[in-house]
Amino acid sequence: MSCVMPSHLVAQFKELTGLEPTHYIRVPGRVNLIGEHTDYNGLPVMPMAIERQVRLLVAPRTDQRVEVYNTVKRYEPRTFTISPQIAPYATGDWGNYVKAGVQGIVTEALESGKALNDIRGFSALIDSSLPAAAGLSSSSALVVASALAELTVNGWSFDREKLAEQMAAAEQYVGTMGGGMDQAVILLAQAGSALKIDFFPLRITHVNLPPAYRVVICNSMIRAPKTAEARLLYNRLPIECRIATAVLARALSDRGVDQSVVRISEIVSALSPDQVLEEAEKLFGDAHWTQQQVADYLGITSQEVAARYMRLIDGATLPTPPEGFPLLRRIRHVITEGQRVEKSVKALSAGDALRFGELMNASHASCRDDYGISCPALDELVGVARSAGAVGARLTGAGFGGCTVNLVHEDKVESFVETVIDRYYGGYLKKNHPELYSGLQTRGFDDVVIVGAPQQGAEIQPLNS
Ligand code: NG1
């Protein structure tokens, strides 16, 4: 066990809860190297776990309450009772991530025949060194940490792969229609290597990064939250992919594609990625499709399109985008991004860092132009990073803000960091977002430019008093 428990947290835990902590749980964040928005489409991703993490001290309770404290004051304490259907807090409340993890475990326990009365709750103190809303998976880390707390206080063993799949489904509790990348890397990462993850079913391959290169994460400081309206920006993407999948499956039904498929990966595996791309180009053209056009093509009504494909997790329907759906662009990004992950694995096994860097750059262009998830600050940061010596630079995570990930030769890391601080933070950010820059002047840059190495996945340490 490599995690060291900080003693000041123990004192704080005892003071807040009146209990003695029994376990220390450490859950890393992650940075995605390549493979963006491919996971929920069934295509691969390549993330690694990072040293920034969520740490949690926990003690079992004799009742069915869950009581959580956070070392960050603005996250006020939350208490709730375990039940078959735990009602969420208001959208955006941090406690919903705790509820999501606990609910996932409780649902599974009840389904496996355990009695509600036999399920214990816990008290926990949470501390995080992961920036929130930055695309580094602080939310999934909290969901997984809460689930591990619930499993641990009940003395339940678990299989990491199965738990990763359960947690991907469990996190949808917060209303995001995400995939399974974050929970998988958080639980299954091994120190020293990145992971190629395939989905449905989950499969893991360890990938070595080029030894002379470092992964540098730069926070654009533009927050990328997934709450309220911002969440719609994210959810619109899986919905557009579902619509594109349905239309393509219909078009390709005479080529052996089953019309009931729900993910782009299922079409790609029936034909080949290049064939699907060619067909998609012919079918969709570069125009946006209206909801009515989709309905006409599928031989259903526009209301049926909304009911079948545009439902959000809370039962509401995605508002119809007035400009329509850019179906070719969405499909093209997802398919080429899946190909880029496969090519990256090949490049890295051949030790070809420059080729991997090119693929990262191409991924950024595709995320920006076809998937629409970049923003001026991310584009600027990527441009600065390349001129500062990164062989590959791209946005990472859901997008719309948050961080970039950069591959930098170890000899250039120091000058890379200096140039980025000077040109992006001291130049672009100061000029265009002075309010975001002023905080940095006092805080420094340790939290915004992070040089990372692949870390171990989540760990649980018993505290023997
Ligand atoms: P982040 O960057 O943590 O918001 C989200 C999804 C992933 C994946 C990426 C884009 C969740 C919990 N995570 O990650 O599954 O789709 O966006 O590649 O929804």
In a domain, 340, yes or no: no
Indicate if 36 and 101 belong to the same structural domain: yes
Indicate if 162 and 235 belong to the same structural domain: no
Does 258 participate in catalysis according to the annotation?
Answer: no
Indicate if 249 and 131 belong to the same structural domain: no
* Residue listed under structure tokens 């639980």: 187
Q: How far is CA 87 from the centre of its chain?
A: 24
Give residue 324's pLDDT band: very low, low, confident or very high (50, 70, 90).
very high
In a domain, 419, yes or no: no
pTM of the model: 0.96
Indicate if 188 and 245 belong to the same structural domain: no
Indicate if 56 and 202 belong to the same structural domain: yes
Measure the CA–CA gap between 210 and 400, rounded to whole angstroms.
Answer: 29
What's the confidence (pLDDT) of residue 7? 84
Domain assignment of residue 177, given as a range: 8-209
Does residue 2 carry a pLDDT above 60? no
Indicate if 24 and 140 belong to the same structural domain: yes
What's the confidence (pLDDT) of residue 228? 63
Contacts of 152 (CB under 8 A, 6+ apart): 22, 23, 25, 58, 122, 460
Q: What pairing do the DSSP bridges indicate for beta strands 65-70 and 78-81?
A: antiparallel
In a domain, 411, yes or no: no
- For residue range 40-89, list pLDDT tens digits in order: 999 999 999 999 999 999 999 999 999 999 999 999 999 999 999 999 99
Percent of the chain with pLDDT over 90: 89
Does residue 227 carry a pLDDT above 70? no
The CATH number of residue 153's host domain is 3.30.230.10
Indicate if 32 and 165 belong to the same structural domain: yes
In a domain, 91, yes or no: yes
Q: Using the 3D structure, point to which of 330, 352, 374 is the last residue of a domain.
A: 330
Query: 238 CA distance to ligand 1 centroid (A)?
Result: 11
Give the mean pLDDT of 236-264: 95
Give the mean pLDDT of 149-175: 96
- Can you count the helices (H) and strands (E) in the chain? 16, 12
At 107, the amino acid letter reads: T
Q: Using the 3D structure, point to which of 265, 299, 330 is the last residue of a domain.
A: 330
Q: Using the 3D structure, point to which of 330, 359, 385 is the last residue of a domain.
A: 330
Element (H, E) at 11: helix 7-17
Query: 183 CA distance to ligand 1 centroid (A)?
Result: 10
Does residue 418 carry a pLDDT above 60? yes
Count of domains for the chain: 2
Indicate if 145 and 85 belong to the same structural domain: yes
In a domain, 116, yes or no: yes
Asked if 43 and 192 count as a contact pair (C-beta separation under 8 A), the reply is no
What's the confidence (pLDDT) of residue 1? 46
Which residue's CA is the nearest one to ligand 1's atom 19? 178
Q: Which two three-digit tokens encode residue 131?
A: 């920036």
- For residue range 354-382, list pLDDT tens digits in order: 999 999 999 999 999 999 999 999 999 99
Q: What is the DSSP letter of 112?
A: T
- For residue range 125-149, list pLDDT tens digits in order: 999 999 887 889 999 999 999 999 9
CA of 426: how far to CAs of 129, 215, 381, 418, 435, in Å? 24, 22, 12, 10, 12
Asked if 184 and 211 count as a contact pair (C-beta separation under 8 A), the reply is no
Does residue 230 carry a pLDDT above 80? no
What's the confidence (pLDDT) of residue 224? 72
In a domain, 370, yes or no: no
Asked if 50 and 82 count as a contact pair (C-beta separation under 8 A), the reply is no
Tell me which residues have their CB closer than 6 angstroms to ligand 1.
32, 36-37, 39-40, 135, 137, 139-140, 171, 176, 178-179, 181-182, 226, 397-398
Which alpha helices (DSSP H) does 83-197 contain, by range? 95-111, 138-153, 160-170, 181-188
Indicate if 47 and 117 belong to the same structural domain: yes
